[in-house]
Chains A and B, each alone.
Chain A
Amino acid sequence: MAELTTHTERPTATGWASPYVALVSSRLRSQFAYRRSFALDLLGSFGVGVIEFAEIYVIFSSISVLGGLDFAGLALLFALSNISFSLADLLVGHLDRIPTYLRAGTLDAFLLRPLPVLAQLVTSDIQLRRFGRTALSIAVLVVALVVNPITFTPATIALLVITPIAGTAIFCALFVAAAGVQFWLIEGSELANSFTYGSSYASSFPTAIFTLPMRVLFTFVVPAAFTAYLPTLLILDLPGPAWTPAWLGWFSPVAAIVSWVAGMLIWRAGLRHYTGAGS
């Protein structure tokens, strides 16, 4: 629908990006307007990261190796997984509010504007407060890089650069796919959360602890293992468990592209299915 409208009808003096720049900057201005409130939200997001890390801390207070990784290794895995997920959550996490838009009929307003609906939705509510969790993950990453026995070769550094980018892209694609499914499910936001947050949770643990069907599910169906676990194995120079060897870690960009294709197909099918709230 909205995609069919051509952009040439608009005054495009400053290029195609200008409406998005305007949207994003208005969101950022409104979020910075109440500074103390924003600071508290950042702290809250940081706190969520602390809860997540507490789990690993408590588990490792009584054991020393989990799924082939020690505490330092798991901290690296946690950091990579959480950096990607929190960045995806910051960029597109608000897509899980689609059920509210559908119920209230506010989605129709987006359909009327001459810009792709998904791009509008993404730029309309970027949540900078979620950077709190990213900040915690980056801190954990720095410590993990120091305490793990890592030989910094060009390959390791390339992995450390590629992994968060590919991981963020994969989680973004999962959010988009989950949002696309919402067009069929009414009141299904929690279901979508189990898909996105569940993948994020699974990705912060070594896939080796799962049974084979779950390992295959979280590697080849939902590519959670590509966001952190497989690259972590490569960085730490460890072999992978059966069916998911470590060298797969180099393929996280491929997993990201495949996820995006699948996510966009689901999103487009969902949007075509949408018939309006009658408002």
Chain B
Amino acid sequence: MSVATLAVLTQTGWRRWSTYRSAALAGAVTNTVFGLIKAAITMGAVGAAGGQLAGYGPIEGATYAWLAQALIGPVNVFWSNDLVERIRTGDIAVDLSRPVDPQLAYLSADLGRAAFTFLPRGAPPLLVGALVTGLALPANLLPYLLGIVSIVLAVIISFACRWLVSLAAFWIIEMRGASTLYLMASNILCGLIVPVHWFPDWMATLAAATPFPSMLQTPIDVIMGRDTGLAALWLIGVQVAWALGVLLAGQLLWRLGTRKLVVQGG
């Protein structure tokens, strides 16, 4: 297994998703429509709080909503059933016979997917946001550079978490309960519905103990320059720790799962 192999897999991930252009367009429209509504809600909430809410003014609140809508495509905080289906149908045997580590192979493909969806799904909500509400973005380059690092890490963490939960399919047949729980936890705790900084204390503590804020809240904080310098580096360090930790947990669980797996037929 080499880096070149993984790079090829990343390209195939890009190609697979770039084939369906109209689907990407439909996704961008959806994200933009929800962005309009969410920006109105965050601005309304900031206005009701007297113009400032946990460091967000009205435009910052709207920017948060637009950035969140731009990033959910690439980061994919939702659920994907691909691996679960492969385990259930036994197709996973094909993955096991390949001379590539399955987790890294799927991660590479997911990075390709994220790289493709970044512009077609991310740019339209941000453009509409800039026109409708205006965006509060920093004027210097550094937050964006750090932001790109943070987004890549967010994609990796999101993949690693979905991978880890999907592996439960080795032991349980009906995954709908698990996927719903995951969807609830990730959607609420990543900051998709409202910024994590607005959470009441008990929910903020709960969120901080999970990798979910690292999927959406952290990249947005870094890009918006809410945290700069050492504080931003610390956030990225937390992301690195979550990425490595969850990937490693996925590797261990994969070994346990495949030891138990029996695939019938030839």
Contact = CB atoms under 8 A, between A and B. Distances in A.
Nearest to A213: B132
A47 B37 contact: no
A209 to B, nearest CB: 3
Contact of A47 (B27, B184, B200): B184
Nearest to B20: A187
Contacts of B198: 58-59, 61-62
Contact of A214 (B40, B179, B199, B203): B40
B188 interface: yes
Contacts of B49: 62-63
B37 A198 contact: yes
Contacts of A114: none
B83 interface: no
B30 A190 contact: yes
Best-buried of B33, B43, B179, B183 by chain A (most CB within 10 Å)? B33
B253 interface: no
Given A40-B177, A43-B177, A61 B200 contact: yes
A278 B203 CA distance: 54
A158 interface: no
A189 B26 CA distance: 8
Contacts of A48: 180, 183-184
B254 interface: no
A211 interface: yes
A274 to B, nearest CB: 18
Question: From DSSP, what is the main secondary structure of chain A's interface residues?
Answer: helix
B200 A66 contact: no
Interface residues of B, number: 36
A65 to B, nearest CB: 6
Given A190-B30, A209-B44, A58 B193 contact: yes
A50 B183 CA distance: 11
B1 interface: no
Interface in B29-52: 29-30, 33-34, 36-37, 40-41, 43-45, 48-49
B194 A41 contact: no
Contacts of B176: 37, 40-41, 44
A137 to B, nearest CB: 16
B22 interface: yes
5 contacts: A61-B203, A190-B30, A194-B34, A205-B37, A211-B40
Interface of A: 36-37, 40-41, 43-44, 47-48, 50-51, 54-55, 58-59, 61-67, 185-191, 193-195, 198, 201-202, 205, 209-211, 214
For the complex of A and B, list the 5 residue pairs with the smallest distance between their C-beta atoms, beginning with the closest.
A209-B44, A194-B30, A44-B180, A61-B200, A190-B26
